[in-house]
Structure 1
Amino acid sequence: MLATVKWHTQAGTLTADNRDAFAHAHAHAHASLYVIADGSSSHPRSGELAQALLNDLTIGFNPLLTTELNAEQLAEALVRIIASSHQTLRDDFPLAACSYLVLCLLPDTAFTVHEGDCCLGAIEDDGEISWLSAVHCAPNWQGDLTHAQIAQASSRHALTRCFSARRTSSPEINYWPARPNQHWLLASDGFWAGLCAQEQQTFLRDGHLPAPPTDDDISCLSVITRTT
């Protein structure tokens, strides 16, 4: 599947390093992989953990495509890679934590695997963003809040799921209909929760804001599929 991919990121001021990261793999016409991760600003080496997880996912993805697995089989295989990465990285990153979102596109469907507060959106023809995936945070423990409601909650940074040696990994898997010329958006919470709608549109257009963000890193990965 052909796609146009754009990564926009702008560092915040909470940490000396930008702890958002992305990766993608186009190993086979049958499936493509897109991943973002957001390292915690409260725990040391979380940006390194985020990048290490993405490396494990992209390296592990290519061998999966030696046979044409269906969406459910691919999702289960990616969860196994995440579980293996959780075990191998825990000793090197005992205090670190990150959120992540995996988007896998197949010819007739799409699925996501995620933990934390990185979110999947679909950009409609009028430019409006429809947020699709759930946010794993304390205010949304019942899973019934909109992203706009969560963004206003002061406790949204308290995550109920994330990738960390201090927690059991518990990914959520969701399946989505896929169509040609679809515009997917994978975003860190600095984008979907930290920016108003106008700032989101400016960031998508220009790749940065006129004034740097005052706290969290802002990142989004735009993926536009096309048939030719």
Structure 2
Amino acid sequence: MRYHSRSITGQASRANNDYAGATCEGDGGFFVVADGTSRRGSGQLAERFVSGMLAAHSTQMEQGSYPAEPAAVERLLDSILSDFRASLPADQTGVICYLIGLVAHGRLTVAYEGDCSCGIVTLAGAIDWITPPHCKANWRRDRSHCELAQDPARNSVTRYLKINRVPNPDFVCCALDAVVRLVFVTDGFWADLTQAQQSSLLAAPDSDISVGDDDVTWIDVQLGQQD
């Protein structure tokens, strides 16, 4: 398993409020993206979230592997999120969207709130998104990412993390084939970039690109060998 991560500051941003982190161990891995809003403290909260999740994952691996039963994994991730919120200082401000991806026992488990997304990359470089964003434009949970990208109501996020809100993630779980490629992204990637730009960055991740107003962040993960 190998991964590549990059974050590009948007044109409207004074500071990049996106954060990402990842770690791989053999055929398992833990991946985190967090997108801080423009509210005060959001960038700091996003940074704390990523470092906190990676620390919790390290502790879990020291204690032993993740459970194999999907429901048990979801309960564990729920507990990690609740412990993180409880650990925040009382004066912590800010709002973030987040996504956690865990690869273990041949399965992918995703926990998320907001509009960060996970997709499966096809051999042709296209992305099949598997996490419906939490936003007013998708209140029925039935619209594609391509449709949502054109709807301004997608910017009204309905699920998120902040200090006075109990974490309430949705979970997506699926079996992984022997050869698969995953991408974990903030909405600046899936909504503000065209599909051609997305594919281009996956093919040449360090290439120059002009992004829009929003920060653009992604983690590209390849499991196994690809031709």
Q: TM-score normalised to the size of structure 2?
A: 0.90
1:54 is paired with a residue whose SS is helix
Which residue is equivalent to 1:86?
85
What pairs up with 1:8-27 in 2 under 5 angstroms? 8-26=6-24
Is residue 101 of structure 1 aligned with residue 99 of structure 2?
A: yes
Which residue matches 2:50? 54
Q: Find the aligned partners of 1:206 and 1:189 in 2 and give their Cα distance.
A: 20
Task: Work out the CA distance in 2 between the residues paired with 1:76 and 1:142.
Answer: 26
Q: Tell me the CA shift for residue 149 of structure 1.
A: 1.1
Distance 2:42 2:148 in 1: 23
Distance 2:41 2:206 in 1: 25
CA RMSD of aligned residues (A): 2.0
Superposed counterparts of 1:11-160, under 5 Å: 11-26=9-24, 28-29=25-26, 31-40=28-37, 42-65=38-61, 66-68=63-65, 69-70=67-68, 71-89=70-88, 91-94=90-93, 96-160=94-158
Deviations 1:157-192 (A, max 9, x none): 111101112433211111111112210000110010
| Superposition deviation, residue 10 in structure 1 | 1.0
Give the AA of the match of 1:171. P
Shift, 1:107, TM fit: 3.0
Name the amino acid aligned to 1:58: L
Q: Which amino acid letter does the alignment assign opposite residue 106 of structure 1?
A: A
Match of 2:5 in 1: 7
Unaligned segments of structure 2, at least 5 residues? none
Q: Give the conservation status (yes or no) of the 8 Å contact 2:193–2:211.
A: no
3-state SS of paired residue (1:219): strand
Provide the aligned length of Structure 1 versus Structure 2.
223
- Deviation per CA, 1:18-77, whole angstroms, max 9, x where unpaired? 111111233x5574211111111x201211111101111111112323234224323211
TM-score by length of structure 1 reads: 0.90
Moved more, 200-209 or 186-195: 200-209
1:123-170 superposed Cα distances (whole Å, 9 cap, x missing partner): 101111111111001111111111111111111111110111243321
Gaps of 5+ in 1: none
CA 1:209–1:138: 2 relative to 1, 3 Å? farther
Deviation of residue 204 (structure 1)?
2.1
Within the candidate set 214, 217, 220, 1:219 is matched to 217
Match of 2:196 in 1: 198
- What is the deviation of 1:202? 2.3
User: Does the 8 Å contact 1:64/1:74 carry over to 2?
Assistant: no
Q: CA 1:44/1:127 → structure 2, altered by over 3 Å: closer, same or farther?
A: same
Question: Contact 2:82–2:166 at 8 Å: present in 1 too?
Answer: no
- CA distance in 2: counterparts of 1:191 and 1:131, whole angstroms: 12
